[in-house]
Structure 1
Amino acid sequence: MQIKAICTDIDGTLLNGDRVLSPRLLQAIARLPKDFPIILASSRMPDAMRHLQQDMGRLGEPLICYNGGFVIHDSYQEVLDDVAIGLDHCEALVKIAKGTQVHVSLYQGEEWYEPAFDYWAEREASNTRVDPTIQPADQVLAMWKARRKGAHKVMCMGPAEEIDFFFQNAQQHLGEDLHLYRSKDTYIEIAPKSISKASALQLLLARKYDIAMDEVMAFGDNYNDIEMLQAVGMGVAVGNARAEVKAISDRVTLSNKEDGVAVMIEEVLLG
């Protein structure tokens, strides 16, 4: 099998314990040809991914954002796919959170809206190196209604017991149309059910590269990576991945804190 591209998750996979790209990983990437695609696939917004591309010397390459809901190619200023949560569903999610301690973040394209710069917003800004626009959710939804837009992602953060309540309520009423993914016990990331990292990667390869899915090596650690790891030629779980992710993967490498992605690049592509 000849590997012609890499597609990788970011948090818990590509980033080390300090939430940065390690020197070993950057050295491994620098040894790959410049025309060898390294595609980032994440629930993150575009600007939370571009600084990582810059660190790798890969700024301008395609990005699979919001778990596949927004696929862009900066070099050509091109949006390849755009699938959002409908405004009625956005309104329903905000309503479920009312009267609770659940903090609702709204994402659309290049924009991130927060009702206040509280503990949760500050934490996310620190993790992603992006600052939100502070605006009440009802104003954001009214603006989107006028523009006929929806959310590429709704993220809910809060105390674990409150997140449990929100998750069960939202899953019961909206689960048929939305994918609710618990990345942590205090986080829920919500996206349209029709998209995935796998479907976005397949579209991107067909539109921009003469590369088949079975010529890709992909890395991941969590439930939202499973479809992608199953769909490519070599699906690799990092050592800290959930047991379900390891079970479906072709290979298991070291953890993100032990340079697992770099180790596989060195072994498979640079050995």
Structure 2
Amino acid sequence: MQIKAICTDIDGTLLNGDRVLSQRLLQAIAKLPKDFPIILASSRMPDAMRHLQHDMGRIGEPLICYNGGFVIHDEQKQILDDVSIPLDYCEALVKIAKGTQVHVSLYQGEDWFEPLYDSWAEREAKNTRVKPTIQPSDLVLSMWKSGEKGAHKVMCMGPPEEIEFFFRNAEQQMGTDLHLYRSKDTYIEIAPKSISKASALALLLEKKYGFGMESVMAFGDNYNDIEMLEAVGMGVAVGNAREEVKAIADRLTLSNKEDGVAVIIEEVLL
């Protein structure tokens, strides 16, 4: 099998315990040919990924954002795919959160909207190195309505018991059409059910590269990485991955805190 590209999750996989790219990883990537694609695939928004491309010296390479709902290629930010949550669902999600302590973040393309800059927004800004636009959710939804837009991602943050309440209600009302993913007991990430990192990667390869999924090595740690790891030629689970991810992976490596991605790059590609 000849590996011609890497596609990797970010949080819990590519980033180390300090939530940065380690020197060992950067050195390994620097030894790969410049025409060897390093494709980032995450629930993050574009600007929360571009600073990592900059650190790797890979600005302009493909970005699979919002778990596959927004796929960008090259420095001109060419949009290859654009799948969003319909506006009426966005409105329903905001309504469920009213009267609770659940903090709702709305993402659309290059934009991130927060109702207020509280501790939840501050934490997310620190983790992703992106500053949100502060605007009430009702105004954002009204603006989207005039432009016939929806959200690429809705993220809800709050106390575990409130998040559980929100999750049950949203799942009951919209679970057939939306994917509600609890990345932590205080977080819910919501996206259209029709998209995935795997489907986005397949589309990207078809449109921009002369090879298929069988030529890709992919890395991941969580449930939203399973389809991608199953679909590629070599699916690698990091040591801190969920057991369900490890069970379907072709290879296991060390944890993200132990440079697991770098270890496999050095072993297989260098």
After TM superposition, the score normalised by the length of structure 1 is 0.99
Map residues 39-78 of structure 1 onto 2, 5 A cutoff: 39-78=39-78
CA distance in 2, matches of 1:49, 1:84: 19
CA distance in 1, matches of 2:59, 2:265: 20
| 1:129 matched residue in structure 2 | 129
CA distance in 2, matches of 1:240, 1:168: 28
Residue 211 of structure 1 deviates from its aligned partner by 1.6
Residue 118 of structure 1 deviates from its aligned partner by 0.1
CA distance in 1, matches of 2:118, 2:224: 27
| 1:111 matched residue in structure 2 | 111
Q: Deviations over 1:64-121 (max 9, x none)?
A: 0000000011334310000000000000000000111000000000000000000000
CA distance in 1, matches of 2:198, 2:42: 11
| 2:265 matched residue in structure 1 | 265
SS of equivalent residue, structure 2 residue 75: helix
CA RMSD, aligned part only? 0.5
Map residues 25-174 of structure 1 onto 2, 5 A cutoff: 25-174=25-174
| 2:24 matched residue in structure 1 | 24
CA distance in 2, matches of 1:161, 1:110: 31
| 2:187 matched residue in structure 1 | 187
| 2:13 matched residue in structure 1 | 13
SS of equivalent residue, structure 1 residue 21: coil
CA distance in 2, matches of 1:69, 1:261: 25
Q: Deviations over 1:176-231 (max 9, x none)?
A: 00000011110000000000000000000000011210110000000000000000
Structure 1 segments of 4+ aligned residues over 3 angstroms from their partners: none
CA distance in 1, matches of 2:199, 2:6: 15
Alignment-mate amino acid for residue 45 of structure 1: M
Report how many residues are paired: 270
CA distance in 2, matches of 1:247, 1:96: 36
CA distance in 2, matches of 1:166, 1:252: 35
Residue 227 (structure 1) aligned with residue 233 (structure 2): no
Alignment-mate amino acid for residue 255 of structure 1: S
Residue 55 of structure 1 deviates from its aligned partner by 0.1
CA distance in 2, matches of 1:171, 1:211: 38
From the superposition, tell whether residues 133 and 193 of structure 1 become closer, same or farther in structure 2 (CA, over 3 Å). same
What are the ranges of 5 or more consecutive residues in structure 1 without an aligned counterpart?
none
Alignment-mate amino acid for residue 122 of structure 1: E
Residue 147 of structure 1 deviates from its aligned partner by 0.3
CA distance in 1, matches of 2:252, 2:167: 30
After TM superposition, the score normalised by the length of structure 2 is 0.99
What are the ranges of 5 or more consecutive residues in structure 2 without an aligned counterpart?
none
Q: Deviations over 1:217-261 (max 9, x none)?
A: 000000000000000000000000000000010011000000000
